[in-house]
Amino acid sequence: MTRGRLGVNVMRAAVLAAVTAWTLFPIYYMVSLAVTPWDDLFRPVYVVQRPTLDNFKFVLLQESPFVKYFWRWLANSLLVSGAVMVAVLAVAALGSYALGRIRFGLGRYISGMTLFTYIIPASFLSIPFFKIMGDYDLLDTYWALIFAMTTFAAPSPSGSCGTTPRRSRTRSTSRPPSTGRARSRSSSACTSP
């Protein structure tokens, strides 16, 4: 019994060590590239010889044509993500209230619709998107980005994955049936491939 448990623990430790190394290695490399001086970049080493923060200065002060508009780009990102956040909050607050509290007959279809939007890969719609953004006269504007992102971000906080009561499948009895809000929290995280 004890020997078996020791074996299991050693194996666990080995697995955890391997997983940690696997996880951290690309991150370590990322960080070490960031502090590698320009001249040393093309000579591979395990540990950076002369770490420097020049690369950060280079970007922050926009010292090269490649990063000439760094602050502008950062502002674009902030602007678009801020606008999407506000839009998603507004759309999803209304939608989740409808789905979670009003419990209307057509709610089934609305939640199916949000689930569909959530699951379908955005890239499948990307080429028509380019065309229709032209139709809506939104090409080369922030609005095109904001509308597209809001469309795909709003369904999940609206509680698409489970505001309608459903049969518990693998869930234990440990959790009481909850309302939309608690459920949608677990599902709203499912945003990665």
Partner 1 sequence: MTAAADVLSPRSRNLQGLLFSLPLIVLFLAFVVYPLYFEVTQALDRYTYEVLFNDPIYVQTIVNTLVYVGIAVNLKLFLALLLSGVLDDDSRSTRFLSAIFLLPWAIPVLPGILSVRWMMSSQWGILNLISEDLGLGTHHWLASRWTAISALIIFHIWKYLPFWTVIILAARRGIPRQLYEAGAIDGANPFQTFRYISFPLLAGIYLICSLLSMVFTMGDFTNVWLMTGGAPGDSTHVLATLAYRYTFRVGKLDWGVGVFATALPVTLLFIFILIKKIR
56-85 residues near partner 1, rule: CB under 8 A: none
| # residues near partner 1 by CB under 8 A | 81
Give just the sign of the alpha carbon dihedral 54, 60, 64, 67: positive
Tell me the residue length of the chain. 193
Among 1, 2, 3, 22, binds partner 1 (CB under 8 A): 22
Residues 119-138 that bind partner 1 (CB under 8 A): 119-132, 136
Compare residues 63 and 186 and give the one whose CB is closer to partner 1: 186
DSSP letters along 2-59, please?
HHHHHHHHHHHHHHHHHHHHHHHHHHHHHHHHHTS-GGGTTS--SS-SS--SHHHHHH
Residues 169-188 that bind partner 1 (CB under 8 A): 169-175, 186
Angle made by CA atoms 178, 182, 187, in degrees to the nearest 5: 120
d(CA 191, CA 108): 22
> Could you tell me which stretch among 25-33, 48-56, 67-75, 78-86 binds partner 1 (CB under 8 A)?
25-33
Among 114, 156, 184, 188, binds partner 1 (CB under 8 A): 114
Instruction: For the CB of residue 150, give the shortest distance to partner 1 in the complex, in Å.
Output: 7
Cβ atoms of residues 38 and 54 within 8 Å: yes
Determine, following the binding rule CB under 8 A, whether residue 140 of this chain makes contact with partner 1: no
> Could you tell me which stretch among 58-66, 68-76, 78-86, 153-161 binds partner 1 (CB under 8 A)?
153-161
Among 147, 156, 180, 188, binds partner 1 (CB under 8 A): 147
Q: Which of helix, strand or coil describes residue 129? A: helix
> Could you tell me which stretch among 54-62, 68-76, 78-86, 154-162 binds partner 1 (CB under 8 A)?
154-162
CA atoms within 13 A on the CB side of 85: 6
